[in-house]
Amino acid sequence: MDQEEAVTAAVLVIGDEILSGRTKDKNIGFIAEYLTSIGIDLKEVRVVPDEEDEIVAAVNALRVRYTYLFTTGGIGPTHDDITADSIAKAFGVGISEDERAIEEMLTRVSRADLTPARLRMARIPHGADLVRNAVSSAPGFRLDNVIVMAGVPAIMQSMMDYVTPTLRTGKRMLSVSLRADAREGDVAEPFGLLAKAYPDVMMGSYPFNDEHGYNTNLVLRSRDPDRLAAAKAEVEAMLAALPGRAGKIP
Amino acid sequence: MDQEEAVTAAVLVIGDEILSGRTKDKNIGFIAEYLTSIGIDLKEVRVVPDEEDEIVAAVNALRVRYTYLFTTGGIGPTHDDITADSIAKAFGVGISEDERAIEEMLTRVSRADLTPARLRMARIPHGADLVRNAVSSAPGFRLDNVIVMAGVPAIMQSMMDYVTPTLRTGKRMLSVSLRADAREGDVAEPFGLLAKAYPDVMMGSYPFNDEHGYNTNLVLRSRDPDRLAAAKAEVEAMLAALPGRAGKIP
């Protein structure tokens, strides 16, 4: 594992129900936090409908750009579950019912219950490794750098846990959060100067308001603990020199 | 307004804080549901970091493909708020402090408080119309088919309400949701046949589980009330003929 090289990722959420608003996605935030915690930088997210051309185009755009691509959704038993076939098409490989997947499913389903619809869930692109589903047995899979997971949050989370030990991870991103006790518009200039002075420390500014009015959280992020500590000290000195005034204007 | 032609949209969420997992996005689900309710089909969502090249590339990919592009985030006063400049670059137009925007801000901020940082929020690409911010006054804007909104949910929502009357909307999508009282794997085959028989009615299948075990919601969507009613009747008849059995296998 190269501790210095950044490891990147994209997430592709597949599903009409997210785009219609019927289902509120909970996976993006979970995966984002999860990847950050293991030292992988999430760089892009896309949500596309259950349409083969859209899935293939997004998979091929994202898998070449980032170290890993994680997909969620579209691996169930119904006609609109077309993720596995779309992944096979994106890679130009065949796909068929996979004996390993059937075996995993048989730990939870009797052979009599393995209807043609359920057997769709055992369709795995050739060359893929299975990703175990600890919740309901029908597996996801990993093909090259693409990890294909279920859309149901509990199942997706079990798949993330399963696949994580196999991932290359980077040096973990460290972060500190400072409450400015100032309006974003008042802190913006000195904070911007410090951001320029520390190009290797990412600095973000997040307004919020509470019962005292508008206020701002400043977040510093770096892989280098020394640089992070130095930047933090300078930001704290900058804040101490500001008139501390939460107000009604952002 | 052409009631027959589908009106489409994409959403572009801009912000490192979403990709790091620090902030959980609440805007995608809100906008998805909002657009569906006014007859606009959300077809794609992307989340990109606060990096000009990424924003410009995403804006130019999405604005030519869909009727509208809605962006959220990156229009505050700090150095990492680069959405307005990135939009100007994507369109190849100039950008400068806008008198109309300053006037709106002066309804909430004294002229003495209009620091250079706050004036950044008045930077509007040339040719854009303002989108009013009913919460904290610093406006969003609309340039051609791109609507640029704040990332703070309450502000974004006020901007959606402001801009909606100016949007072309399509014939509203109607939907019905049916509880299958069957496992998805058991309903998948007959449901798939009905989906083929009604190519003009979108049919989706969403597994869930409760204290009785796995179960499935079926959702039918169409712009034609008669076709929707016909499809619904056939799906109900199909469900009535199924052995109604919620079980432990999806």
- Asked whether residue B247 is domain-assigned, the answer is no
Question: How confident is residue A3, by pLDDT bands cut at 50, 70 and 90?
Answer: very low
Shared domain check, B212 and B125: no
- Asked whether residue A216 is domain-assigned, the answer is yes
Shared domain check, B162 and B84: yes
Higher pLDDT: A136 or B97? It is B97
- Asked whether residue A134 is domain-assigned, the answer is yes
- Cα–Cα dist A200/A5, whole Å: 14
Shared domain check, B215 and B118: no
- Cα–Cα dist A188/B78, whole Å: 5
Provide the domain limits for residue A70.
7-166
Shared domain check, A185 and A74: no
Q: What's the gap in Å between the CA of B143 and the closest CA on chain A?
A: 23
Q: Does A214 have pLDDT greater than 90?
A: no
Question: How confident is residue A2, by pLDDT bands cut at 50, 70 and 90?
Answer: very low
Q: Do B249 and A22 touch (CB under 8 A)?
A: no
Which one of A166, A196, A223 terminates a domain? A166
Q: Does B2 have pLDDT greater than 50?
A: no
In contact, B153 and B160? CB cutoff 8 Å: no
The side-by-side arrangement of strands in the sheet containing A40-48 is A129-131, A140-143, A146-149, A68-72, A7-14, A40-48, B40-48, B7-14, B68-72, B146-149, B140-143, B129-131
Q: Select from A138, A137, A170 the least CA-distant residue to A5.
A: A170
Range 124-153 of A in CB contact (< 8 A) with B: 136-138, 152
Shared domain check, B107 and B215: no
Which one of A166, A185, A219 terminates a domain? A166
Shared domain check, B74 and B197: no
Q: What is the mean pLDDT of chain A?
A: 92
**CATH classification of the domain holding A90:** 3.40.980.10
List, in order, residues 6 or more apart from B48 with CB less than 8 Å away. Answer: A44, B12, B13, B14, B54, B55, B58
- Asked whether residue A203 is domain-assigned, the answer is yes
Number of domains making up chain A: 2
Q: Select from A68, A20, A24 the least CA-distant residue to A164.
A: A68
Q: Do B28 and A47 touch (CB under 8 A)?
A: yes
For B16, the closest chain A residue by CA position comes to: A204
> Which chain A residues touch B20 with a CB distance below 8 Å?
32-33, 36, 42, 173, 175, 221
Retrieve residue A239's tokens: 């804040």
Give pLDDT tens digits for A35-51. Answer: 999 999 999 999 999 99
Question: Do the strands A7-14 and A202-210 form a parallel or antiparallel pair, or are they unpaired?
Answer: unpaired
Q: What is the mean pLDDT of chain B?
A: 92
- Asked whether residue A32 is domain-assigned, the answer is yes
Shared domain check, A112 and A11: yes
Shared domain check, A115 and A235: no
Give pLDDT tens digits for A64-82. Answer: 999 999 999 999 999 999 9
Which one of A166, A188, A223 terminates a domain? A166
Shared domain check, B198 and B93: no
> Which chain B residues touch A41 with a CB distance below 8 Å?
19
- Asked whether residue B92 is domain-assigned, the answer is yes
Question: How confident is residue A171, by pLDDT bands cut at 50, 70 and 90?
Answer: confident
**CATH classification of the domain holding A194:** 3.30.70.600
Give pLDDT tens digits for A82-113. Answer: 999 999 999 999 999 999 999 999 998 899 98
Shared domain check, A200 and A92: no
Q: Name the phi and psi angles at B42, rounded to 5.
A: -75, 120
Q: Does A98 touch chain B (CB under 8 A)?
A: no
- Asked whether residue A182 is domain-assigned, the answer is yes
- Provide ipTM, 2 decimals: 0.88
Shared domain check, A86 and A161: yes
Give pLDDT tens digits for B125-137. Answer: 999 999 999 888 8
Shared domain check, A105 and A218: no
Question: How confident is residue A250, by pLDDT bands cut at 50, 70 and 90?
Answer: low
Q: Does A195 touch chain B (CB under 8 A)?
A: yes
> Given this model, what pLDDT does residue A173 score?
85
Q: Does A120 touch chain B (CB under 8 A)?
A: yes
Q: What's the gap in Å between the CA of A46 and the closest CA on chain B?
A: 4
Q: What's the gap in Å between the CA of A105 and the closest CA on chain B?
A: 9
- Cα–Cα dist B203/A80, whole Å: 8
Q: What's the gap in Å between the CA of A18 and the closest CA on chain B?
A: 7
- Asked whether residue B54 is domain-assigned, the answer is yes
Q: Does A190 touch chain B (CB under 8 A)?
A: no
Q: Which of A30, A137, A185 sits opposite B117 (nearest CB)?
A: A185
